């Protein structure tokens, strides 16, 4: 029993060290093209719904190895563009911009992307892979105890 507890504690420490190392690597600017490729599942047209929120329509398109163009639409036919942004790799970091807002990735892997405000933005959010045809976008605004969380369920739009 004591041996099993020791092994569990050791595994926990190794996992924490690996997570800490990954976070430090992101902070040091150690991301590259291979990390942005982990987000290939975003490519395409998406319709998102959230309880009590207006539906969202978004198009993600890889323009090259370092940039994903993001276009936002008002309608499900993707004909009324409302805004644009991008996700891009620069100086070993992954950023997302929308208007004057900019977020930086603190985690990116095959399960998704987590972004925190870097300039002007006041919210953080995550994009989490669910399946080839679904993902979730979770936005958090406010401060602890007064935080507002909106979860959009994104579904691929067949074209």
* Backbone phi and psi for residue 89, each to the nearest 5 degrees, phi listed first: -105, 130
pLDDT tens column, 26-59: 555 589 999 999 999 999 999 999 999 999 999 9
Q: Stretch 111-120: mean pLDDT, rounded?
A: 94
Residue 28, pLDDT score:
56
Q: Stretch 128-138: mean pLDDT, rounded?
A: 97
The structural domains of the chain, with segments of one domain joined by +, span 1-30, 32-156
4: three-class secondary structure by DSSP: helix
**What does the alpha-carbon distance between residue 106 and residue 93 come to, in Å, rounded to a whole number?**
9
- pLDDT tier at 62 (50, 70, 90 boundaries)? very high
Return the CATH fold of 32-156.
Lipocalin (2.40.128)
């Amino acid at each position: 029993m004591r041996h099993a507890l020791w092994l569990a504690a050791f595994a926990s420490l190794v996992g924490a060290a690996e997570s800490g190392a990954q976070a430090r690597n992101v902070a040091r600017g150690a991301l590259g093209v291979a990390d942005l490729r982990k987000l290939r599942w975003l490519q395409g047209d998406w319709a998102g719904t959230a309880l009590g929120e207006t539906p969202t329509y978004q198009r993600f398109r890889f323009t090259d190895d370092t940039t994903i163009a993001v276009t936002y639409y008002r309608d499900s036919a993707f004909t009324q563009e409302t805004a644009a942004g991008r996700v891009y790799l620069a100086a070993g970091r992954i950023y997302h911009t929308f208007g004057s807002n900019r977020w930086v990735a603190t985690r990116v892997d095959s399960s998704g992307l987590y972004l925190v405000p870097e300039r002007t933005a006041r919210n953080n959010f995550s994009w989490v892979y669910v399946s080839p045809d679904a993902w979730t976008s979770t936005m958090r605004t406010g401060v602890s105890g007064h935080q507002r969380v909106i979860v959009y369920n994104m579904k691929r739009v067949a074209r």
